[in-house]
Structure 1
């Protein structure tokens, strides 16, 4: 494939166009796993080639449980992407994580139910290590960049991923908060994160808190989430604008590119 990029951005709710690129070109990528969420936009920013794909498709037409994460990750891999930056919207399970805050997850708990979780469905089996799911190098870089921007953020968070598209019951929300000790809740991290690891790609989750989940006795609606999210989209874009040029071209401070070593049977 003639087009290529080094950094991939998977845009979450509200981030359907990075708004950063020059020399943009849309590329349709065919994968063994079906169609990606949308065409991939490849462009240049700060001297770096970047590929952008909207996780839910343009106009938010794909619900979280129907996102073809295997096709999205495969498409970016085919384009040469080595690092993925993945903004997403999340709810909060703690008063320490307030609407408008940014969180950099360092762990996740999977409560999804029926997704395609691996590229290795048979013939060859991979037991990929997910002890530390996110690229430590990208997390360090993002921490420095967010600090310089002066945004309120949490350096660590346990993200519980649920199936969706419905929101949690109050009992579920309290269970995730009080029993599982999760900090934030969303619907899209899994299996996107683990598939990136199988593809030996660095992966960074940037979670923007949009609301307190229902444990706080403040019922949430999609309208409220979107209203808060829109206020944070520019913040996310400013972060991406500073983060992209800060990412080094060589991967020397993480082991993401050799994640499959010892994992294949």
Structure 2
């Protein structure tokens, strides 16, 4: 039976809706995960949950051990992974509070461990990333958003930037010229490593601010946190539907 794992980002350092039955530390070839993996039930369905930034949101995007996180989820039996992503909106459709299920991405990060094929583990492989997200799981997320009463934008190009600082106006203008609709800091190498591990991976993004130069004035944490609180409630409903969809 398919086992769903959820990787929580901003706003999801913990997951009160999850009835935790066990917590596991998993030894991986790549070191420690961001936190122990929680095994529990969401609306009666068994799932795994791992906070990407660790307990208390302590790990910045460039310090996350993406390889260990995804390896551990697979080792515990997950075959589907939803990566939650609080993002900035670039395209006009992607206003704050929008939900989106991106279909493609561009990686602008650097200095991160981007692959399980580091010359020390398995033989080298070059995985296909023509479509970086699992289309089956994207469809499940899109249908769940509609059923929840918070329909998602069904496409979008996610720009993965280095962080932890936010981007400049000129950087966002560049991303827009490149065709990006959303900007976040954790979408890669997470999606690429999931593909290397044979996991069905998709992102559920929720917009918590206009990207630099797209709104009025400077971006404030108060604005982000306000939108984040609203989005967390919407995403919680969607995840319950996804978990029980089997």
> TM-score range, shorter-chain basis?
over 0.9
Q: Distance in 1 between matches of 2:158 and 2:174?
A: 14
Helix, strand or coil: the match of 2:244?
A: helix
In structure 1, the gaps of 5 or more residues are: 248-265
Q: Distance in 1 between matches of 2:145 and 2:189?
A: 26
**Counterpart in 2 of 1:263?**
none
Aligned partners of 1:145, 1:82: CA distance in 2, in Å?
Answer: 19
Contact 1:6 1:48 in 2 (8 A): no
Question: Alpha-carbon deviation of 1:224?
Answer: 2.4
Q: How does 1:163-202 map to 2 (within 5 A)?
A: 163-177=162-176, 179-202=177-200
Deviations 1:184-226 (A, max 9, x none): 0000000011101111010010000011101325321333222
What secondary structure is seen at the aligned counterpart in 1 of 2:124?
Answer: coil
Matched, 1:60 2:35: no
Deviations 1:147-201 (A, max 9, x none): 1222142000100000001111111111111x10110000000001110111101
Q: Residue 219 of structure 2 corresponds to which residue in structure 1?
A: 220
- Is 2:210 the counterpart of 1:208? no
The CA distance in 2 between the partners of 1:21 and 1:165, in whole Å, is 28
Change (3 A) 1:214 1:23: closer
The equivalent position to 2:89 in structure 1, one of 87, 92, 98, is 92
Match of 1:235 in 2: 234
* In structure 2, C-alpha distance between the alignment counterparts of 1:75 and 1:147, rounded to whole Å: 31
Contact 1:9 1:51 in 2 (8 A): yes
Give the Cα separation in 2 of the matches to 1:137 and 1:170: 35
1:45: which partner in 2?
A: 42
Q: Quote the residue 1:119 is aligned against.
A: 116
SS in 2 for 1:215: coil
* Alignment gaps of 5+ in structure 2: none
* Match in the other structure for 1:16: 13
Alpha-carbon distance between aligned partners in 2 of 1:25 and 1:217, rounded to the nearest angstrom: 43
Instruction: Work out whether 1:162 is the aligned partner of 2:187.
Output: no
Task: Please show how residues 240-259 of structure 1 align to structure 2 within 5 Å.
Answer: 240-247=239-246
